[in-house]
Amino acid sequence: MLLQILPMILALAFLMFFSFKKVNIIFLSILSALLLAVLSGQSPYASLTVTYMTGASGYVKTYFLLFFTSIIFGKLMELSGAASSIAGAVSKIFRKDYAILGIVIACAVLVYGGISGLVVAFAMYPIALSVCQRSDLPRTLIPGAIATGAFTFTTACLPGAPSVSNATCATTFGTTAMAAPLLGILCGIFCLSLSAIYLVWEQRRARKAGRHFEVDDASLKVLEKSNAAGEKVKPVVALIPPLCVVIALNVFDIPIVASMAIGCLVCLGLFFKELAPQIISILDTCATSSARSILFTATVVGFGSVVKESAGFQSLITWTETLNMSPYISFALGTTLLAGFSGSSTGGLAISTEALGPRYLEMGLNPEALHRLATISAVGLDSLPHNGAVNTLLSISGLTHKDGYIPIFVTTVLITLLTMIFALILIPILY
């Protein structure tokens, strides 16, 4: 079996190494797919024109409107000052000794309210800078805190989140965003608790080492702009659009794309005076951003599709099924491995639910448990260094992998894998 999975390992190593070198992910995913096809004995031409393109185009077809409406919603919340108002209010609740947790919770509130993780990263960075400035914390802590709140327990664990992950699983398993609420809440608490302990420890370690907040002219401009926008909006009013999205999705069972559109309209109505003069430029920017975001994710999904069709992946799945283990465990392992090879939780999840979901449903496993286990497992290995969101977050923060990746790795890889194990322990008890 080792010889069969070796091409997968080499292709992933190739993808990770050159992503470190800032090679364009579209070009890199095509090269990685070609390399895997050649090494695993697949037809290079068929792998690219059929397998790769079918996976990539299918992802665009299914999720483009969700990306588009989510990015518009996030942009409206950002430019109106609502996102800054919410984040600032949450951050002020936490004392100086736990300031880093204010960033985490603020990100989580925004993501649960329907703003995509990457949009939250852009919106939260100025607020996180302000928090670090007030608490005299080094900027190197920012990526780990934002990643924890935006990419882990909120979208993976908590039921009811209007996320791509929940939408993907709902389609396959016939469930809703509220699937397995108790399992999700318990895993969310577990993940947040471990992450909070680690981040507070990192904060205290930074203080003991004498590391301080370092400011430059660019950071000062970002801080001034963010503070000015957030001060104009009351947090109670700022919460109305996200609440409308969550209520529309989970109370009235309105489809997720329509729920996001409702949030956009409510936000535009509440802050019409501020947003109306910018509406054309907002739509233009969001159209470009959504196309860029989904294309980057879709190309990685295309690579994952080639992985899925390789003999190595098939033998790996067969091997896990032959072991004397719960099918829930083999499903979780398959999902997190696909997310790791894809470098994307949503991309890996899309492949996993399509390739593995029907098989495990036929075994009689609980659809809601599979739904929640899938969303949790997808955020295990997805955040390796080649992950697009990780690279974007570090770029926003002006940091290299060397400076800012370790906290991201601990919270979004190690702790989320522990959360997956915790979920596997709970499932036999709850289901």
Predicted local confidence at residue 222, as pLDDT: 57
* CB neighbours of residue 390 within 10 Å: 25
Predicted local confidence at residue 418, as pLDDT: 96
Output 424 or 309, whichever has higher pLDDT: 424
**pLDDT, averaged across the chain:** 83
Contact status, residue 282 vs residue 79, Cβ threshold 8 Å: yes
Burial of 26 from C-beta contacts in 10 A (0-12 / 13-18 / 19+): middle
**Dihedral angle, C-alpha 276, 278, 281, 285, nearest 10 °:** -100
As a whole number of angstroms, the distance between CA 305 and CA 301 comes to 6
- pLDDT exceeds cutoff 90 at 197: yes
- pLDDT exceeds cutoff 70 at 91: no
- pLDDT exceeds cutoff 70 at 350: yes
Output 96 or 328, whichever has higher pLDDT: 328
Q: Which of 185, 121, 161, 170 lies closest to 399, judged by CA?
A: 121
Residue type, 19: S
pLDDT tens sequence across 352-384? 888 788 888 888 899 999 999 999 999 988 888
As a whole number of angstroms, the distance between CA 213 and CA 327 comes to 48
As a whole number of angstroms, the distance between CA 102 and CA 135 comes to 11
**Residue 227 host element (H or E):** helix 217-231
pLDDT tens sequence across 99-155? 888 889 888 887 887 777 766 776 677 777 777 777 778 888 888 999 999 889 988
**Residue 137 host element (H or E):** none
pLDDT confidence band for 1 (50 / 70 / 90): low
| Cα–Cα distance list, 39 to 3, 10, 311, 312, 355 (Å) | 10, 9, 11, 11, 22
Q: Which of 44-53, 297-306, 318-327, 399-408 has the lowest mean pLDDT?
A: 318-327
Q: Which long-range contacts (CB under 8 A, 24 or more apart) does 202-211 make?
A: 202/100, 202/141, 202/144, 202/407, 203/97, 203/98, 203/99, 203/100, 203/137, 203/141, 204/97, 206/137, 206/138, 206/140, 206/141, 207/137, 211/138, 211/140
Predicted local confidence at residue 312, as pLDDT: 78
Predicted local confidence at residue 323, as pLDDT: 66
As a whole number of angstroms, the distance between CA 121 and CA 371 comes to 26
Q: Which of 43-47, 81-85, 202-206, 211-215 has the lowest mean pLDDT?
A: 211-215
Give the relative orientation of helices 53-80 and 240-250 as an angle to the nearest 10 degrees. 140
- pLDDT exceeds cutoff 90 at 414: yes
Predicted local confidence at residue 239, as pLDDT: 85
- pLDDT exceeds cutoff 60 at 192: yes
pLDDT tens sequence across 226-282? 566 667 788 889 889 888 887 887 788 888 788 889 989 999 999 988 888 888 888
Q: What is the pTM of this model?
A: 0.76
Give the whole-number percent of the chain exceeding pLDDT 90: 19
pLDDT tens sequence across 312-341? 777 776 776 676 778 899 889 888 888 887
**Residue 318 host element (H or E):** helix 311-322
Which span out of 72-81, 390-399, 405-414 was modeled with the highest average pLDDT? 405-414
pLDDT confidence band for 391 (50 / 70 / 90): confident
Predicted local confidence at residue 201, as pLDDT: 92
* pLDDT (mean) for 287-314: 80
* Angle, alpha carbons 46-379-155 (nearest 5°): 115
Give the whole-number percent of the chain exceeding pLDDT 70: 91
- pLDDT exceeds cutoff 90 at 427: yes
In the three-class reduction of DSSP (H, G, I as helix; E, B as strand; rest coil), residue 377 is classed as: helix
Tokens of 369: 């448990």
pLDDT tens sequence across 172-189? 898 988 899 999 999 999
pLDDT confidence band for 411 (50 / 70 / 90): very high
